[in-house]
Structure 1
Amino acid sequence: MTDAKWAVVRPLLPLPAWLEGRGGQPEGCCHHITLDAVRHLLGNGIKWRAVPADFPAWDRVNAIFRRWRRQGLIAEFHHRLRARVPETEGREAEPTAAVIDSQSLRAADTVGAGSRGWDQGKKVGGRKRHLTVDCAGLLLVEQPGSRSSRRHR
Structure 2
Amino acid sequence: MDRERRYPSDLTDAEWAFVEPMLPSPQWMGRPEKHPRRAIVDGILYVVRTGCAWRYLPIDFPPWQTVYSHFQRWNRRGVTDRILTELREQVRLAHDRQPQPTAGIIDSQSVRAADTVHSDTRGFDSGNKVNGRKRFIVTDTLGLLVTVWVLAASWQDRDGAKGAADPARVRRLRVRRPSGRLGPRHPAHHPGDRPETRRPARIHRAPPPLGRGTRAP
Superposition TM-score tier, normalisation by shorter sequence? 0.7 to 0.9
Per-residue deviation at 1:136?
1.4
Task: Please give the TM-score of this superposition, normalised by the length of structure 1.
Answer: 0.76
Q: How far apart are the structure 1 equivalents of 2:41 and 2:87?
A: 15
Q: How far apart are the structure 1 equivalents of 2:121 and 2:48?
A: 27
1:65-144 pair list within 5 angstroms:
65-105=71-111, 116=123, 123-125=127-129, 128-143=134-149
Partner in structure 2 of residue 39 of structure 1: 45
2:110 touches 2:135 (CA, 8 Å); kept in 1? yes
Q: 1:128 to 1:2 in 2, by over 3 A?
A: closer
2:88 touches 2:144 (CA, 8 Å); kept in 1? yes
In structure 1, stretches of 5+ residues that fail to align are none
Q: Could you tell me which amino acid in structure 2 is paired with residue 46 of structure 1?
A: C
Is 1:28 aligned to 2:20, yes or no?
no
Larger deviation, residues 3-12 vs 83-92? 83-92
Q: Could you tell me which amino acid in structure 1 is paired with residue 81 of structure 2?
A: A
Q: How far apart are the structure 1 equivalents of 2:120 and 2:25?
A: 43
Aligned length: 143
Per-residue deviation at 1:16?
0.3
Q: 1:10 to 1:47 in 2, by over 3 A?
A: same
Larger deviation, residues 93-102 vs 29-38? 93-102
2:53 touches 2:215 (CA, 8 Å); kept in 1? no
Task: Please give the TM-score of this superposition, normalised by the length of structure 2.
Answer: 0.56
- Give the match's secondary structure for 2:44: helix
Q: 1:106 to 1:124 in 2, by over 3 A?
A: farther
Specify which structure has the higher proportion of helix: 1
Q: 1:114 to 1:61 in 2, by over 3 A?
A: closer
Partner in structure 2 of residue 5 of structure 1: 15
Q: How far apart are the structure 2 equivalents of 1:41 and 1:105?
A: 15
Identical-pair percentage: 36
Per-residue deviation at 1:118?
5.5
Per-residue deviation at 1:89?
2.5
Q: 1:14 to 1:114 in 2, by over 3 A?
A: closer
Q: Deviations over 1:112-138 (max 9, x none)?
A: 69964666xxx3355544222111111
Q: Could you tell me which amino acid in structure 1 is paired with residue 16 of structure 2?
A: W
Q: Deviations over 1:81-116 (max 9, x none)?
A: 222211222322111321122334568xxx869964
Q: 1:101 to 1:6 in 2, by over 3 A?
A: same
Relative contact order: is structure 1 or structure 2 higher (C-alpha 8 Å, sep ≥ 6)? 2
Is 1:61 aligned to 2:72, yes or no?
no
Q: How far apart are the structure 2 equivalents of 1:105 and 1:69?
A: 21
How large is the Cα RMSD of the aligned pairs?
Answer: 2.8
Q: Deviations over 1:63-95 (max 9, x none)?
A: 211211222212222222222211222322111
Partner in structure 2 of residue 146 of structure 1: 151
